């Protein structure tokens, strides 16, 4: 290879905004871009956004399970990529998503019982009822936006019922949670930031009123359980309960919508796999795992080393940002056979879409249950459903992947 060829190849390495949903090409289809990056520079120093980007499965896996790394943006060096997410009130402890052990360990221990596989299994009949009710309301023929009519409302209703939210307040909760996800976009305009802050204040005030009501009149709901949760004499403060509920609504709500929406779209684009699932509904569990691997709702995560060290063979300074690209790891050809092929009977179904290590997604069992019931019921009740001719539009939130709308023709 000549010097000119080497220079041209290096100039072609995607970087900066090109590696976020703010870039139209990445937003529409990030996978060719990520494959190129994994091939040319599997450990990429992104000098535009001030971070190191990892795309290989082995490197991502090691990073996710490294307990010495921080997820707290307040510990990131000023100007680094992770420091841009330091939107939390400096006077308040961060949510579990941005907390390190031992504080993270304490929070997770106090709330984890509500999200165990056993607890979620007991919720399946009610999730099925909600799915049936939403599908009953969809006309048997004609075009419908599946995000608005189905994939969006389902997790909102499930989480709202878990928390004990009044049904009349669900629309407000949906709006607040959708705006809350915008917190993960470090490049908001001042106007967008004002909207997000207003939504956060409204949700905060609402939740504090509900907490006060539950202290006086307990119910069989998650907020009451969080108030009563105790471990070694330790209990959650009101601030921690509010932050936990806000996290569940913002992070757990839209990502489940995206899991269902992305999964249905992928099935419609792969009619052979859709037919396999319709012929054998027992494949729904592996189908959902393949949906998660193939079209993950969460594209990337973030870590910060607290001291100078070597990561994936590269020297990284204390406070610098490291971004593991989960979506790239999920399609690493050294791990998955034909990684760009969607196969619901794939034998290797593990993936990084829920993260890993101590920060593995607490709500994974619930998200899986909702997706299995939602997609399984949908393809059974509407066996001839097809995608509409309307163009698709993906949301522009860095780190996440989901559709604004999913127009389908129901049959």
Q: How many CA atoms lie within 13 A of 92 on its CB side?
A: 17
pLDDT of residue 88: 47
pLDDT of residue 7: 43
CA dihedral angle for residue 303, residue 69, residue 116, residue 153, rounded to 10 degrees: -10
Rounded to an integer, what distance in angstroms lies between the CA atom of residue 107 and that of residue 123? 23
Q: What is the secondary structure of 147-186 as a DSSP string?
A: IIIIITHHHHHHHHHHHT--GGGHHHHHHHHHHHHGGG-T
Six-digit token pair at 165? Answer: 């939210």
Six-digit token pair at 381? Answer: 């009740």
Rounded to an integer, what distance in angstroms lies between the CA atom of residue 288 and that of residue 293? 9
* 121: CB partners within 8 A, 6+ apart: 369
Rounded to an integer, what distance in angstroms lies between the CA atom of residue 40 and that of residue 9? 8
Six-digit token pair at 308? Answer: 């100078």
pLDDT of residue 184: 75
Asked if residue 181 lies in contact with residue 254, where contact means CB atoms within 8 angstroms, the answer is: yes
pLDDT of residue 4: 41
Asked if residue 246 lies in contact with residue 203, where contact means CB atoms within 8 angstroms, the answer is: yes
CA dihedral angle for residue 223, residue 224, residue 226, residue 229, rounded to 10 degrees: -170
First to last CA, the chain: 56
Residues (pLDDT < 70) of the chain are: 1-11, 86-92
pLDDT of residue 117: 87
pLDDT of residue 222: 92
Tell me the pairing of strands 142-145 and 407-410.
antiparallel
Six-digit token pair at 10? Answer: 């290096």
Q: Return the CATH number at 294.
A: 1.10.630.10
Q: What is the secondary structure of 204-258 as a DSSP string?
A: HHHHHHHHHHHHHS--SSHHHHHHH-EETTEE--HHHHHHHHHHHHHHHHHHHHH
Ramachandran quadrant class, 14 (left: phi over 0; alpha: psi -120 to 50; beta: rest): beta
Six-digit token pair at 14? Answer: 């995607």
Rounded to an integer, what distance in angstroms lies between the CA atom of residue 404 and that of residue 402? 7
Tell me the pairing of strands 51-54 and 322-324.
parallel
Asked if residue 231 lies in contact with residue 109, where contact means CB atoms within 8 angstroms, the answer is: yes
Q: What is the tally of structural domains in the chain?
A: 1
Phi, psi (rounded to 5 degrees) for 304: -135, 120
pLDDT of residue 12: 80
Nearest CA to 156 out of 258, 252, 244 is that of 252
Residue count of the chain, please give it. 411
pLDDT digits (tens, 9 = 90+) for 348-369: 889 999 999 999 999 999 999 9
**Tokens 């899991």 -> residue:** 259
Asked if residue 271 lies in contact with residue 296, where contact means CB atoms within 8 angstroms, the answer is: no
Asked if residue 369 lies in contact with residue 104, where contact means CB atoms within 8 angstroms, the answer is: no
Kindly report the pTM of this predicted structure.
0.93
pLDDT of residue 11: 57
Residue ranges making up the domain that contains 29: 3-410
């Amino acid at each position: 290879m000549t010097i000119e060829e080497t220079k041209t190849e290096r100039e072609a390495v995607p970087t900066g905004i090109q590696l976020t949903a703010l870039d139209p090409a990445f937003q529409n289809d990030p996978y060719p871009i990520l494959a190129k990056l994994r091939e040319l520079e599997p450990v990429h120093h992104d000098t535009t956004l001030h971070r190191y980007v990892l795309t290989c499965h082995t490197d991502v896996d090691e990073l996710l399970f490294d307990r010495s790394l921080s997820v707290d943006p307040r510990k990131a060096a000023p100007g680094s990529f992770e420091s841009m997410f330091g939107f939390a009130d400096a006077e308040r402890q961060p949510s579990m998503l941005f907390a390190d052990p031992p504080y993270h360990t304490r929070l997770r221990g106090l709330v984890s019982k509500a999200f165990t596989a056993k607890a979620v299994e007991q919720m399946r009949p009610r999730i099925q009822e909600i799915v049936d009710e939403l599908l009953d309301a969809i006309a048997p023929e004609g075009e419908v936006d599946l995000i608005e009519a189905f994939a969006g409302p389902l997790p909102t209703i499930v989480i709202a019922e878990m928390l004990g939210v009044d049904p009349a307040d669900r629309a407000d909760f949906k709006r607040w949670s959708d705006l809350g996800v915008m917190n993960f976009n470090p490049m908001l305009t001042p106007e967008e930031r004002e909207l997000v802050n207003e939504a956060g204040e409204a949700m905060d005030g609402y939740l504090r009123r509900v907490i006060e009501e539950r202290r006086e009149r307990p119910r069989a709901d998650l907020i009451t359980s969080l108030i009563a949760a105790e471990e070694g004499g330790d209990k959650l403060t009101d601030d921690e309960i509010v932050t936990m509920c806000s996290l569940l609504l913002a992070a757990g709500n839209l990502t489940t919508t995206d899991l269902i929406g992305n999964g249905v779209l992928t099935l419609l684009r792969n009619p052979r796999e859709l037919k396999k699932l319709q012929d054998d509904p027992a494949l729904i569990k592996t189908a959902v795992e393949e949906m998660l691997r193939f079209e993950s709702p969460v594209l990337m995560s973030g870590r910060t080393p607290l001291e100078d060290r070597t990561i994936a063979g590269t020297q990284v300074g204390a406070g610098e940002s490291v971004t593991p690209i989960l979506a790239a790891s999920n399609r690493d050809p050294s791990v998955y056979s034909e990684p760009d092929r969607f196969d619901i009977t794939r034998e290797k179904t593990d993936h990084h879409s829920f993260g890993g290590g101590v920060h593995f997604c607490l709500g994974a069992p619930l998200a899986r249950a909702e997706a299995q019931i939602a997609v399984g019921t949908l393809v059974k009740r509407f066996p001839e459903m097809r995608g509409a001719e309307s163009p698709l539009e993906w949301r522009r939130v860095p780190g996440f992947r989901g559709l604004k709308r999913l127009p389908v023709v129901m049959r």
